[in-house]
Structure 1
Amino acid sequence: MRNPSLFPSIGFLAAALAIAFAPTVADAGLLRLLSEVLVVLAMAQMWNLLAGYTGLVSMGHQAFVGIGAYLVFVVSDRLGLSPYWMVPLAGVGAALLAAAVAPLMFRLRDAYFSIGMWVLAEIVRLLVAKFPLFGGESGVPLQAVRLVDAETFQRNAFWISGAIGLAAVAGVYLLMRSPFGLGLMAVRDNELAATSIGVNVWRNRFIAFVLSGLGFGLAGGAHFMGTMFVSPDSAFDINWVVTAMFIVIIGGIGTIEGPLIGTLIYFGLRELFNTWFAMSGGWYLIAMGSIAVAVMLLAPRGLWGLARERWGWRGLSVQRHPPQRAASISSSSFSHTTEDATHEEHRLLSR
């Protein structure tokens, strides 16, 4: 256990075992809640990949949630296929949409990119609502559910959600520890400097954008498959992105641990407000917004960033050092560093 590199592997293995055995101890209601937690965690990790590690703040990724959900429903019902096998198709469809719109969206910068993504999501929502094939404004039920065992449906839906959530965390972690991840952080920190050392800015952003669309599509397909009903207002709801933003901001943007902590806090607060304080509607949103503002003022880097600065916690750090110096660097020398790409990382990337 002295090797810190073992801790992520042990953590992922423990999480996988917990997901595998959860249906044996949890009832249907708890499994539905845990499924939602896991798909929202996946969305938060994907939004963090784009905003925290690539520097692109999107307000329209609900478009990929909706496309993923409708692909599961329409293709399953029309072809008479099990909805389980349609969830990967949901991710592929969302990734193709992301690849198609990327050249247009990348012409926009900063706030214009965020607004452009929001407009794109609204256009897709309106188009879906106009076609009778998708059930119009009223939505469509999952008729293909008759093809699967009703007694095991909720359990299987939970396992699919668990696989997506775990893959999102592990995937982002491995991606950011690769040379490509270093390139992403270099692009985020200084686009001109990244270009000067040979990083293809457009390609890196494109790959991150498509991967984030893939993750949102998978999460959307899995979530609405579990609910067995989808409508344009629910699938293309901007609150999917707002929730991901809230989670990443309070947890810590640009970190792997931030979305994990933020997801636990978000659902804990939601259950607390809804159950103990009986808050709903506007009061619930006001309470959550006030907490987000307080965290941004007191801990701009999020709760995990605050813990890392004060106590030197590293967790799933993606920071790396050149091989020739790694052995000589003690834990105290980097306990107060951040996830930002350093000069050493840029030098390593240029090799």
Structure 2
Amino acid sequence: MKFTHESLPQRVRFATGEAPAAVSAEIETLGATRVMVIAGEREAELAARVTADVPVALRHDEVVMHVPVEVAERARERAAEADVDALVCVGGGSTTGLAKAVALTTGLPIVAVPTTYAGSEATNVWGLTSGETKTTGIDARVLPRSVVYDATLLTTLPGEMTVASGLNALAHCVDAMWGPRVDPIDQVNAAEGIRGLAGGLPKVARDSASIEGIEETLYGAYLAAVSFTSAGSGMHHKICHVLGGMFNLPHAQTHAVVLPHVLAFNAPNAPEAEARMAAAFGAPSAVEGLAGLRRTLSAPKALADYGMPEDGIAKAVAPILAAIPDNNPTPVTEENLTALLTAAWAGEES
């Protein structure tokens, strides 16, 4: 056994019903006195409650999916004009992504308050979109200094978004099992993340206000992000990043649709990882475990349903092939990648 594992420096607070006090405490720890609060228009009221005891100098609500470069530039300009010394982001992956874009060029510390299961809050990965191209990178400056998880903030998350966001988190676990830097610690975290998500998501699907279900799902989503950021981005995420940037597809739903196809593609050539995932699902195989969970959740099925054109399959093949890591368990060719994308586009069973 030979590997190098790096654990990222971050404080995580699970504080159900205590987000305002927890966020205030984190800002006080940072010594910040002029805080920029980033939250989309739909989260404005929630963000106001969460940051009621924080010294807010600026509230910014221009949040756009996939973080277009021009949107990031405007947020950076406003941060500079207001002379802020810390960032609080309240929302999903797009909101966290915008805070990261500001931190990338300013070095400002982030306190993240997630309202979905995106997982971006636990990674040092940033992403920006220019035209049809989404660029991602790794930088220590974008890792939030602290994360406040409060299950009560997710009780009103719409059911469809809960399912898509939770399956997006599950995709982090699956991709981490064979990521370019994967090690045994990543695989342990990813398997436990799968167990948490597979246990929590059905509870939340039955009752969107189930605190127990939300906490279990958040726990799984956090471990998913930790394992993913350490193992690195694998085949699944390379596919979704290309498709998302090229066709402006919704992030979580794209991941939810593509996931079973990538799992079925790679599992036969990754027997140890497959066995870990099957055990985490409590199923005879990883593919069967995911399929059963997707049936329970009535998961998204087809990329066509979210606006991807059929002729986009051929357009996406070359950039995806160029991005997939060399260590992917199953060798990827133009032919088998086209077949995978076609199946995901049409919503065929994997």
TM-score w.r.t. length of structure 2: 0.29
The structure with more radius of gyration: 1
Structure with larger RCO (C-alpha < 8 A, sep 6+) = 1
TM-score w.r.t. length of structure 1: 0.29
Q: Which has the higher helix share?
A: 1
